[in-house]
Structure 1
């Protein structure tokens, strides 16, 4: 069944973009807008803008944009209906469903939602298996041996996969799930060379459910309990359309609230490490599930805190092999500390060995910043070998160089100087060398961003450049005209009874736009006026056309705004384009027509050259010459109106 239009309308009326996005990101107000680091790509300075007045967001780095519903779709990886349900739940809005859809239509749901439903069914199946005789004697007894309480088992959706080839397959098929969906969800396997032979992926193993950030099952980890050398200890769900391992951290759903409250995230390696810390009263903990840290996982942590404490097993060789993770965390802008457990211990074993209180005390007293941790790790090596000490200094400096904040870098240089017993100047010199490459990359990136933010008037000044085609310049001008239409079309012109949109649309009625998206928006605008509506930007954003929504948000969003202090405090008057909409609209039309005339002139020149290359074609040559010079007259008239002087 689909959500009723009445429910969707209630959600759209009630939702507030600041509240919805504020549940996921720390927001800072700057002027009329709110800003945050974009959750969809890595960045060190905020380019993710939220407009409470317009109820939209836009990232000036990666281009993601939309309204609160689109944000939930993007951040949670769900479809439109799931996003509406999510927001409805936040505001306590009762979800009503239309019964008009047929069973066939229900079966043809969005693939992602179908997979999530199948994974939810599998989760329930594995959980219920703990209550069977086999589940109690094998799965439940294992969890009890590990000290897992009934509350913890329920909290993490722990379960058991029965010993048999097709227990889940049979149950799911009887519940109406198709084999194709179960295969795509990674729940069953197909025998090589025999497409008709399918069987359960997880058999005779305890199950750890992997959730997304809103608590929906995405996949499973399964541990074997028998000592079978031919079987891996753990098997995990494969990559699927809904489960991307590089973007998921085990336990984040259960930990996100505590991470925000404690402003710290403990990072461990495995499922049982996470659960053991919860048993010790420590809930702000997640696991990378035995894989190397990824940028996606680091971004996920950064959404909730900037502080990370990595918990390492008491294995020096293993720690040294995993130090790359610390550099990635530093590069992601996180403040990193580390705790090492006694030799032979891991977070799970040590918490069970010493008890909850002693375990928490150990974490508090043994937490060290990454510089002290890294130097202490190699201390015995470089005491005996000066060359090794030089190598360690370089390694430490490289780690410091990953930190984006120069003040924090300086603090760590001072600390490293004391611990390594070496002058700060030497460390600074080495640090400057390691930063050269990074600074060059950042410079190139800034140049690229600056070019993309060039003002429209600056773009017009480049029109004589042979590198920019008339088609590209025409697209720029078409965009500018549509931007003015969408932003100010509903406003009335000074001393006139007509709206700006009426003037702009009448002047462009006979012009054929070459850029499909701008032609589409113009057509939608005209259709709305015919229906008696005066469309605002919100009208286009709410149409449900993602292409139109993205473009309109881009047209109405400005990265920079003039501070009110210029006028209020410093008495500096800044002219705005909406101060005189008659002039703004008039100049926009002239520039668009000028560019279209230039395009026609260029086409006439091409035809003239072709005609000159042919014999006995004097009539056509004269025709194209006349056409070209007539167009040139029109351009000169427009130039005069615009105040453009060309030598």
Structure 2
């Protein structure tokens, strides 16, 4: 269904890039822009740059770039119309579309259809909890007994599933939803013979939301005693739900995590509900699964500080410790807190209240290394062999920490705790790291050896020869300026030329002589070899002929998405000048101050590379010529370009062979 253009314009005007990105990533201000670790690829040093002035984002690591709508499309993995609807909902903009039937909604696309049917199920379970006699007497009574108030039930959209075999299925069919879609969403099951029934029956329902608040799965707890039934069951993996990438409560907690700059990580649904209700809103749960690297990276979008809350089960804690080194590897600051025997976060906060709970955490939280060392030392006692094993295990954990300063601090602290020499710990750590690096190198070499062909095929040799330095220019052209392995030096200079034009085209070098006027005059009729830059150059020339200087704003609003993507990369500056220079009254020239020189140098380098390429082409033609007159003519042309090349090299100050 098409969204009216005026509505699209209103959505785009309302959507603020900082506001939109902050729903998913914790941004930090740096100069005019904001930075963060990129949510699209794994990194420990921020390379994700957001510009509020231009309303764009750009990652210098993976190359992702765009505006608020593109960001939502990329982060949610949804289409353009769905991204617009998402933003419209966020900013309270009514999207005037015709009412679609369930079948028409399903036909839009399967992924969106899964969200639709999951949302239907959420509303069905929630309504059943609040309005049906069975829901109120069983489900709502259970939540009341656990102390959950109405606002908690509403915030987390809790529900109840009837004890009937197919209550959800029948209601879904009545509303026009197909059973196949319900099954793909994990809401119903099929038996042999074609009989279908609800997956969740006679259970309280905990909807699981993604970061943007859409329901993607459910957890369900049985309330009656039945040894043949598991206490909790969860939705299966679907196209929209991958349990290793999801944390329960992240949607409700993300803003609090960002504001408090710490995330409390628990194990169960009710832990999250109780702490949230007590006012400790920066809490999420791994929903009973072992902590995964994807979940850790999800937390790191909003904070670098994590406190893991365990109950008093010693065996469970020891098992969990083995998987926490990966949290250290991601650079997070990890602390651990345990509760008295018989208590978990849910029961303890209900017993003592929010203030006492927070005070307890401040007094009983230890950094992960110290906590792990204490736990293991208690087991080892005075046994020297076990103590030696513990030292090795703790060193291995410290070695995972990427920050060298943090590693040094932990070596000092752990040496005192274990009563061993600090240098011994560091030496052993270096040995472990070196051994691991050697193993990784050997694995890479073995893999390369196994993949290397016994002899290079003749066809491949011919292709490689075509791409040699002496090959024709047309063979080395690339339409992908982001592909660093195939780009020619000429392509980089073409990119620099377009960058200067889109950033500074309207800037005057002299009265009535703009950068655009100067560079286009010097380029003449020259065409670029990189298609996207050649097309952008043509757009700029066309504009100049119509007395219009087309700069970044023109291309950022262009319908051609490739123009938009390239322009974002050309206008986004990765590094900004520190304010300390101005504070100490040290003047550092900006690019604008040196603009005339930059434009002049770029034109010279472009012409030099074109001359060099032309000389290579002429040499090849001379080798193929059979007519002496043609050879002489080509030699004269070659010497002309050689003189041009030498003269430009002299102006640039480069070394000439």
Superposition TM-score, scaled by structure 2 size = 0.79
Alignment of 1:105-504 (within 5 A): 109=108, 112-130=111-129, 131-136=131-136, 138-164=138-164, 166-178=166-178, 181-188=181-188, 200-225=198-223, 232-343=230-341, 345-348=343-346, 362-434=360-432, 471=477, 472-497=488-513, 499-504=514-519
SS in 2 for 1:314: coil
Q: Which of these residues, 532, 554, 558, is aligned with residue 539 of structure 1? A: 554
Segment drifting more, 464-473 vs 283-292: 464-473
SS in 2 for 1:377: helix
Q: Which residue of 2 aligns with 1:590?
A: 604
Q: String of CA shifts for 1:381-412, please: whole Å, max 9, x gaps.
A: 32231111111112222222333444433333
Unmatched segments (≥5 aa) in structure 1: 442-463
Task: State the Cα distance separating 1:145 from its structure 2 match.
Answer: 4.6
Task: Say if 1:535 and 1:189 are closer, same or farther in 2 by CA, change over 3 A.
Answer: farther
Q: String of CA shifts for 1:199-239, please: whole Å, max 9, x gaps.
A: 54444443210112232212212334456666554433344
Q: String of CA shifts for 1:576-629, please: whole Å, max 9, x gaps.
A: 5544655543443332233234334334444554x37xxx77677667656655
Q: Which of these residues, 553, 567, 584, is aligned with residue 552 of structure 1? A: 567
Q: Which residue of 2 aligns with 1:515?
A: 530
On the 8 A contact 2:23/2:254 being kept in 1, the answer is no
Q: String of CA shifts for 1:413-439, please: whole Å, max 9, x gaps.
A: 333223222233323333444555899
C-alpha separation between the residues in 2 aligned to 1:378 and 1:174? 59
On the 8 A contact 2:11/2:93 being kept in 1, the answer is no
C-alpha separation between the residues in 1 aligned to 2:128 and 2:316? 36
Task: State the Cα distance separating 1:304 from its structure 2 match.
Answer: 3.0
C-alpha separation between the residues in 1 aligned to 2:591 and 2:361? 58
C-alpha separation between the residues in 2 aligned to 1:102 and 1:126? 23
Aligned length: 615
SS in 2 for 1:322: helix
On the 8 A contact 1:267/1:285 being kept in 2, the answer is yes
On the 8 A contact 1:470/1:598 being kept in 2, the answer is no
Q: String of CA shifts for 1:542-579, please: whole Å, max 9, x gaps.
A: 335443322211111222244566578555553x5544
Q: Which residue of 2 aligns with 1:646?
A: 656
Task: Say if 1:474 and 1:207 are closer, same or farther in 2 by CA, change over 3 A.
Answer: same
On the 8 A contact 1:2/1:98 being kept in 2, the answer is no
SS in 1 for 2:339: strand
> Root-mean-square deviation (CA), in Å?
4.1
Q: String of CA shifts for 1:154-191, please: whole Å, max 9, x gaps.
A: 22112233345554344334434455654554444567
C-alpha separation between the residues in 1 aligned to 2:518 and 2:107? 46
Q: Which residue of 1 aligns with 2:45?
A: 45
Q: Which residue of 2 aligns with 1:458?
A: none
C-alpha separation between the residues in 1 aligned to 2:436 and 2:575? 26
Task: Say if 1:483 and 1:432 are closer, same or farther in 2 by CA, change over 3 A.
Answer: same
C-alpha separation between the residues in 2 aligned to 1:520 and 1:437? 52
Unmatched segments (≥5 aa) in structure 2: 440-467, 478-487
On the 8 A contact 1:79/1:110 being kept in 2, the answer is no
Task: State the Cα distance separating 1:370 from its structure 2 match.
Answer: 1.9
On the 8 A contact 1:256/1:284 being kept in 2, the answer is yes
On the 8 A contact 2:615/2:638 being kept in 1, the answer is yes
SS in 1 for 2:510: coil
Segment drifting more, 127-136 vs 621-630: 621-630
Segment drifting more, 357-366 vs 417-426: 357-366
Segment drifting more, 175-184 vs 368-377: 175-184
Task: State the Cα distance separating 1:368 from its structure 2 match.
Answer: 2.4
Alignment of 1:67-86 (within 5 A): 67-75=67-75, 77=77, 79-80=79-80, 83-84=83-84
Superposition TM-score, scaled by structure 1 size = 0.81
C-alpha separation between the residues in 1 aligned to 2:476 and 2:378? 68
C-alpha separation between the residues in 1 aligned to 2:239 and 2:398? 37
Task: State the Cα distance separating 1:133 from its structure 2 match.
Answer: 4.1
Task: Say if 1:50 and 1:436 are closer, same or farther in 2 by CA, change over 3 A.
Answer: farther
On the 8 A contact 1:494/1:582 being kept in 2, the answer is no
Task: State the Cα distance separating 1:143 from its structure 2 match.
Answer: 3.5
